Amino acid sequence: MSLHIQDLQATLEDGTEILKGVTLEIPKGEVHAIMGPNGSGKSTLSKVIAGHEGYVVTGGSVTIDGEDIEEMSIDERSRAGIFLAFQYPAEVPGVSNANFIRAALQARLPKGEEIDAVAYYKNLYAKMDLLEMDRKFTARAVNEGFSGGEKKRNEILQMMMLEPQYCILDETDSGLDIDALKIVAKGVNAMRSPDRGMLLITHYQRLLDYIKPDHVHVMAEGRIVRSGGPELAHELEKHGYDFLKEAAMA
Amino acid sequence: MTTTAPQTPAVFPAWFAARQHDAWERYLATPAPKRGDETWRFSNLKQLNFEGFTRGAGVSPTADLVARSTGLEKTAAKFVFINEELVHSETNLPQGVICLPLAVALVSHSDLVAAHFMKQETRLGSAKFAAWHEASVSNGLFVHTGDHIEVEGTIEVHHWISGANTVIFPHTLVVTGKSSKVRVIDIFRSEDDISPGLAIAFNDLSAGQYSQLDYVAVQALNEVTRIIQINETSTARDASAKGFILNTGASWARNECLSRLEGPGSRSDMLSVSVPAREQEYDQRTFQHHVSEGAYSDLLYKNSLYDNSKTIFSGLIFVDKNAHHTDAYQTCRNLLMSDTCEANSMPGLEINADQVKCSHGSTSSQIHDEEIFYLQARGIDPVSARQLIARGFSVEVVERLNDVATEEFVLSFIDDKFAHIDTGGA
């Protein structure tokens, strides 16, 4: 049972190659981290897995628990258990957070079945308490006027509510101060489970001080160039990405 | 156009008969709008052929329409008109509030009606149709609150058009006394989906000193019916008037809204949500007239356009030379939900005073792919995602009603409209 990315190749619509054959397997129960310099293709990888239509998959495959997701639409992938926490979450004016998350949960129910509102709010408030989010966030429009930290917390809240099988967190640490980072990490750590695989995408090692990964991969120029244990993150922190490029060329 | 003079019922007062007679003369003498008229720029003048429409001949069985006149759970008063004839009423109003069918008020409170009935000049293009309305109107609602009376809840008025080729002339006249408060909601609907109809509607709102007057018009007529709705609002010192128009129905709707800020410190909020689809056309003209100093007006119109629909917005903020310290804002936003819809906006500003804060603007945009991606990435299908965003776009205006029950009622019409848009704009 895993999220399995096999020799994944993708281009922009204009044909520019971004992913040049990424192979990665994230079994349930494990937390993997992908690190890499800007432009290495980390964010593209997350969007391609989620099904973003701005990219063309030119080779390879992505399967979840053995099922190929290539033919699935974005929303079908989400309902199949993939969750992408966005680096830059969109704002949705006029749609309250509570209604938005409710609509997302409702989309997972069979037609005609309605969410139990009382249980829903109880669950929502419990998750918000854990993320130290003020109750007023339920009534506020999704991400509108939110600070960077509030947006990231809101992403984790959605992840906690939707209980996906595979979570991909794209630069979740960017724009967070230490206190916010700790809260976000607390939420993510609370989601760690033998039934869930996680992929953290980050530029810096500091996120990994709070969310300890089982495996660390380094991405450069559209490929995974090195994989290892948590110590790899420290190595990168110490030597920087130039060290890796040199190693790759050697 | 019709050429037979309407007959003023003998029971109505002489002043009213004279007004109707004069109005008919004016109607005949006023030329029809023509191409090149600034107030009809971008308009489809073919929509102004009203040949063949007649007053509803009698009222068909009413029980069904009364039962269908569902609205707010709790109302301060409720009236149901079919083809201008009152068929149902219930009131639970405090003493000091006059709330009567116009046909009754014209007899029982003739002087009071005369003091407020159609006092302003119709200047946004429909002078001819306002004259037609004035010459023809025979019923509607008259509301007058005494001083220091706050009406809890809403006065709800249902206007039904029944029968093919029926024209109605509904009139709502609301006058608030000093430091009083009232909310009135007009709901325009057709008995069925296939009978062409026409409504030439007029609402007069006069907000007295320190009072608060909220008015909501829900236009959900069938899509073979046309409507001209003229709204004229005046605000006395420190009064606050709020006018909200929802357009979901009709094949063609023309709204002319004029707010005259007569008293210093007064406020006028002019709000509208329109959700045209298929071949529907909504043509909206507004005028924020700042007469007095220190007044505030804020206009927010939002249109979500689907399919081949079309909207026109033309708004003018006009600040008289003595209206110093005016705050006036005007915003029209169009959300284009198809590649074949058409939104025309003509914001305008004319300032003749000093120390004013004014802004006006208009935007047209589509939903960004990244927004849809975000919602889809949460498992929401693209059609629902687009509707959620379009609904949210409208909610921002609806929330300014500041009354949960009224907001939910208005949103129920918006949701019903979304449910009847086949494409979902996708």
State the sign of the Cα–Cα–Cα–Cα dihedral A44, A46, A47, A48: positive
| Contact assignment for B376 to A158 by CB distance below 8 Å | no
Binning pLDDT at 50, 70 and 90, where does residue B246 land? very high
| Contact assignment for B379 to A78 by CB distance below 8 Å | yes
What pLDDT score was predicted for residue A205?
Answer: 85
Binning pLDDT at 50, 70 and 90, where does residue A120 land? very high
Question: Alpha-carbon distance A63 to A3, whole Å?
Answer: 6
Among B378, B391, B396, select the one facing A162 at the smallest CB separation: B378
Instruction: Give the residue, B283 or A112, on which the prediction is more confident.
Output: B283
Searching chain A, which residue's CA lies closest to the CA of residue B371?
A90
- Chain B residues whose CB is inside 8 A of the A74 CB are 373, 376-377
Helix A178-191 vs helix A148-162: crossing angle, to nearest 10: 10
Question: Alpha-carbon distance B206 to B176, whole Å?
Answer: 6
Q: What is the pLDDT of residues B89-103, one digit of tens each?
A: 999 999 999 999 999
Among B378, B389, B395, select the one facing A104 at the smallest CB separation: B378
- Chain A residues whose CB is inside 8 A of the B384 CB are 103, 107
CB B255 within 8 A of CB B314: no
What pLDDT score was predicted for residue A174?
Answer: 86
- Among residues B351, B254, B249, B275, which one has the least CA distance to residue B41? B254
CB B361 within 8 A of CB B331: yes
What pLDDT score was predicted for residue B60?
Answer: 67
| Contact assignment for A103 to B391 by CB distance below 8 Å | no
Closest Cα of chain B to A73: distance in Å? 9
CATH 3.40.1710.10 matches A2-249: no
Q: How many CA atoms lie within 13 A of B371 on its CB side?
A: 22
The values of phi and psi at residue B79, to 5°, are -130, 140
Q: Is B208 helix (H, G, I), strand (E, B) or coil?
A: coil
| Contact assignment for A86 to B371 by CB distance below 8 Å | no
Among B373, B379, B399, select the one facing A104 at the smallest CB separation: B379
- Chain A residues whose CB is inside 8 A of the B394 CB are 94
Distances (CA, A) of A71 to A43, A129, B210, B377: 21, 38, 63, 15
* Whether pLDDT at A218 is above 50: yes
Element of type H or E holding B416: helix B404-419
* Whether pLDDT at B426 is above 50: no
* Whether pLDDT at A145 is above 90: yes
The rounded percent of chain B whose pLDDT value lies above 90 is 93
- Chain B residues whose CB is inside 8 A of the A107 CB are 378-381, 384
Closest Cα of chain B to A52: distance in Å? 7
Mean pLDDT of B103-107: 97
Instruction: Give the residue, B373 or B2, on which the prediction is more confident.
Output: B373
Token pair belonging to A130 = 């854990």
Among A79, A92, A93, select the one facing B379 at the smallest CB separation: A79
Give residue ranges of A with CB < 8 Å to any B CB.
50-54, 73-75, 78-79, 83-84, 86, 89-95, 100, 103-104, 107-108, 141, 158, 162
- Among residues A65, A26, A39, A47, which one has the least CA distance to residue A223? A39
Mean pLDDT of A141-162: 94
CB B199 within 8 A of CB B227: yes
* Whether pLDDT at B155 is above 70: yes
Closest Cα of chain A to B332: distance in Å? 16
- Chain B residues whose CB is inside 8 A of the A12 CB are none
CB A124 within 8 A of CB A161: yes
| Contact assignment for B388 to A78 by CB distance below 8 Å | no
DSSP letters along B343-377, please?
EEEEEEEEE-SSS-EEEEEEEEE---HHHHHHHHT
Binning pLDDT at 50, 70 and 90, where does residue A250 land? low
- Chain A residues whose CB is inside 8 A of the B376 CB are 51, 73-75, 78
Distances (CA, A) of B336 to B375, B388, B422: 18, 14, 16
State the sign of the Cα–Cα–Cα–Cα dihedral B149, B150, B152, B155: positive
- Per domain, the residue ranges of chain B are 14-419
- Chain B residues whose CB is inside 8 A of the A83 CB are 377
| Contact assignment for B380 to A95 by CB distance below 8 Å | no
Q: What is the pLDDT of residues B164-210, one digit of tens each?
A: 999 999 999 999 999 999 999 999 999 999 999 999 999 999 999 99
What pLDDT score was predicted for residue A154?
Answer: 96
| Contact assignment for A95 to B389 by CB distance below 8 Å | yes
What pLDDT score was predicted for residue B57?
Answer: 64
- Among residues A36, A45, A39, A44, which one has the least CA distance to residue A218? A36
The neighbour count for residue A160, using CB atoms within 10 Å, is 23
CB A132 within 8 A of CB A10: no
Q: How many CA atoms lie within 13 A of B172 on its CB side?
A: 29
Out of A35-44, A196-205, B258-267, give the one with best mean pLDDT: B258-267
CB B216 within 8 A of CB B401: yes
Closest Cα of chain A to B97: distance in Å? 36
Token pair belonging to B366 = 């589509």
Q: Is B392 helix (H, G, I), strand (E, B) or coil?
A: helix
What pLDDT score was predicted for residue A204?
Answer: 83
CB B195 within 8 A of CB B167: no
**Residues β-bridged to residue A19:** A10
Token pair belonging to B127 = 């002078």
Q: What is the pLDDT of residues B209-240, one digit of tens each?
A: 999 999 999 999 999 999 999 999 999 999 99
Mean per-residue pLDDT over chain B, rounded:
95
Give residue ranges of B with CB < 8 Å to any A CB.
368-371, 373-382, 384-385, 388-389, 391-396, 399
Query: Tokens 């008229």, residue?
Result: B37
Searching chain B, which residue's CA lies closest to the CA of residue A79?
B379
The neighbour count for residue B350, using CB atoms within 10 Å, is 10
Mean per-residue pLDDT over chain A, rounded:
93
Searching chain B, which residue's CA lies closest to the CA of residue A96?
B392
ipTM over 0.90: yes
Mean pLDDT of A120-133: 96
- Chain B residues whose CB is inside 8 A of the A54 CB are 369
SS (H, E, C) A60-115: EEEEECCEECCCCCHHHHHHCCEEEECCCCCCEEEEEHHHHHHHHHHCCCCCCCCC
Closest Cα of chain B to A250: distance in Å? 40
Exposure string for A87-126, b = 16+ CB within 10 A, e = fewer: bebbbbebbbbbbbbbbbbbbeeeeeeeeeeeebeeebee
* Whether pLDDT at B42 is above 90: yes
- Chain B residues whose CB is inside 8 A of the A79 CB are 379
Mean pLDDT of B381-395: 93
* Whether pLDDT at A247 is above 60: no
Q: How far apart are the first and last CA of chain B?
A: 40
Searching chain A, which residue's CA lies closest to the CA of residue B390?
A94
pTM of the model: 0.90
| Contact assignment for B389 to A92 by CB distance below 8 Å | yes
| Contact assignment for B376 to A95 by CB distance below 8 Å | no
Question: Alpha-carbon distance B160 to B125, whole Å?
Answer: 26
Amino acid at B113: V
Closest Cα of chain B to A9: distance in Å? 21
Q: How far is C-alpha B370 from the geometric centre of its chain's CA atoms?
A: 35
Q: How far apart are the first and last CA of chain A?
A: 36
Mutate: best of A13, A69, A72, A74, partner B, most B CBs <10 A: A74
Question: Alpha-carbon distance B326 to B113, whole Å?
Answer: 31
| Contact assignment for A94 to B374 by CB distance below 8 Å | no
What pLDDT score was predicted for residue A20?
Answer: 96
